[in-house]
């Protein structure tokens, strides 16, 4: 048992609003979710850090979506950290927990222990994908890798693609107290300015890396001053406050932003969970012919599939797979 299992506010996302500044935000605290995500694979420390940061971002961004929607974040690069992918499954009903899963693909032989985790990504892109359910066209937004951290990439995405000034402050790592088992703890704060009535900003106004938009390019006047003030207050937060073993989210919110008239809403519980199933594996194989399925069949006469996210292992009868399947799978 870790210290995190004793803290009521862990594995939750707390939404809030700063009425004076016209800013909304969230505070996230994760412990069991990070442990469950990272224990699925034996990642090197640098890859663990990238996955942990992505999970925190996913929890903060995902809480904005409506019931039954799915949010995915992906980072793809040409460095040794090739892919980091996360999924956020919104609650199916009020009061139910949201589910998060994550996975990374990397070239172990190319990892450089002297490099910062973010530098292992190289050139690539940060993508946000939103699945709004059957009958709706999925949304996808992409921005280049930039800014020195995954948090900066997410901030750039919102400025560039949504023209919403956004700020993340995150902290994460392994934590242990005497007599307790070591475990992961993570936390963070997200600030986002409410949408402007006329959000268009000319590309020539961009001042960010590679000609990308920054929050200061979008806001001016009172809005710019409000945003600067809220960010200055957030700059005073320290890592122990963010991971929250002794500071409740509401206490942190009041300490940082009491002059901004903060208003809190119901916290959203979050858990580790995967959406894989045998039916989905069968569906993914339904595009293949009997000949194709034969090339996937092992010497033992079965087709196997593993989930990269949760490690689930599926064994299937090849005669029941593909668009030419003719028999039922009695072993299903």
Give tens-digit pLDDT for 259-293: 999 999 999 999 998 777 777 778 777 778 888 77
Is 169 part of any domain?
yes
Contact 144, 79 (CB under 8 A): no
Q: Output 216 or 15, whichever has higher pLDDT.
A: 15
Rounded to whole angstroms, the Cα distance separating 256 from 244 reads: 14
Q: Are residues 40 and 133 in the same domain?
A: yes
Three-class SS of 34-65: HHHHHCCCCCCHHHHHHHHHHHHHHHHHHCCC
The tally of domains found in the chain comes to 2
Is 327 part of any domain?
no
Distances (CA, A) of 87 to 55, 128, 167: 9, 10, 21
Task: Calculate what percentage of the chain has a pLDDT beyond 70.
Answer: 87
Is 9 part of any domain?
yes
Distances (CA, A) of 82 to 125, 183, 290: 11, 26, 32
Is 326 part of any domain?
no
Contact 104, 278 (CB under 8 A): no
Residues 6+ apart with CB under 8 A from 300: none
Q: Are residues 314 and 228 in the same domain?
A: no
Q: Are residues 141 and 288 in the same domain?
A: no
Rounded to whole angstroms, the Cα distance separating 317 from 94 reads: 39
Q: Are residues 182 and 137 in the same domain?
A: yes
Q: Are residues 115 and 233 in the same domain?
A: yes
Q: What is the CATH number of the domain that holds 48?
A: 3.55.30.10
Task: Calculate what percentage of the chain has a pLDDT beyond 90.
Answer: 51
Q: Which of 22-26, 30-34, 54-58, 178-182 has the lowest mean pLDDT?
A: 178-182
Rounded to whole angstroms, the Cα distance separating 4 from 32 reads: 7
Torsion angle of the four alpha carbons 232, 234, 169, 145, in this order, in degrees rounded to the nearest 10 = -20
Partners of 193 in the beta sheet? 23
For the stretch 116-132, pLDDT in tens is 999 999 999 999 999 87
HSE-CB at 299 with a 13 A cutoff on CA atoms is: 0
DSSP 162-210: I---EEEEEEEEEE--TTS--EEEEEEEEEEEPPPSS----GGG--SGG
Task: Report helix, strand or coil for 74.
Answer: strand
HSE-CB at 6 with a 13 A cutoff on CA atoms is: 10
Is 103 part of any domain?
yes
Contact 192, 63 (CB under 8 A): no
* pTM of the predicted model as reported, rounded to 2 decimal places: 0.84
Q: Are residues 262 and 308 in the same domain?
A: no
Cα 232 → chain centroid: 25
Is 331 part of any domain?
no
Partners of 12 in the beta sheet? 29, 269
User: Residue 198 carries which DSSP code?
Assistant: S
Q: Are residues 58 and 147 in the same domain?
A: yes
Is 325 part of any domain?
no
For the stretch 127-174, pLDDT in tens is 999 987 777 777 889 999 999 999 999 999 999 888 899 999 999 988
């Amino acid at each position: 048992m870790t210290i995190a299992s004793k803290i009521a506010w862990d594995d939750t996302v707390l939404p809030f609003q700063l009425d004076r500044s016209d800013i909304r935000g969230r505070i996230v605290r994760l412990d069991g979710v990070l442990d469950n995500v990272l224990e699925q694979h034996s990642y090197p420390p640098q890859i663990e850090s990238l996955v942990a940061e992505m999970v925190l971002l996913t929890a903060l961004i995902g809480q904005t979506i409506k019931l039954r929607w799915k949010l995915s974040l992906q980072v793809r690069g040409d460095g040794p950290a090739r892919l980091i992918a996360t999924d956020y499954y919104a609650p199916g009903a009020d009061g139910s927990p949201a589910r998060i899963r994550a996975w990374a693909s990397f070239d172990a032989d190319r990892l450089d222990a002297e490099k910062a985790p973010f530098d292992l990504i190289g050139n690539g892109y940060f993508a946000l994908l939103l699945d709004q359910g059957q009958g709706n066209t999925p949304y996808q937004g992409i921005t280049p890798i930039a800014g020195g951290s995954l948090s900066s990439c997410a901030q750039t995405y919102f400025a560039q693609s949504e023209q919403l000034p956004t700020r993340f402050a995150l902290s994460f790592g392994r934590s242990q107290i005497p007599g307790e088992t070591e475990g992961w703890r993570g936390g963070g704060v997200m600030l986002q300015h409410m949408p402007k009535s006329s959000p268009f900003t000319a590309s020539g106004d961009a001042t960010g890396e590679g000609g990308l938009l920054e929050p200061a390019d979008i806001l001016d006047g009172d809005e710019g001053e409000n945003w600067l003030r809220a960010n200055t207050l957030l700059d005073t937060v320290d890592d122990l406050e963010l991971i929250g073993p002794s500071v409740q989210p509401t206490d942190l919110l009041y300490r940082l932003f009491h002059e901004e008239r903060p208003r809190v809403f119901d916290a959203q519980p979050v858990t580790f969970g995967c959406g894989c199933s045998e039916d989905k594996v069968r569906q993914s194989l339904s595009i293949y012919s009997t000949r194709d399925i034969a090339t996937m069949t092992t010497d033992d006469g079965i087709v196997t599939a593993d989930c990269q996210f949760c490690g689930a292992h599926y064994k299937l009868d090849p005669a029941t797979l593909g668009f030419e399947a003719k028999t039922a799978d009695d072993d299903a």
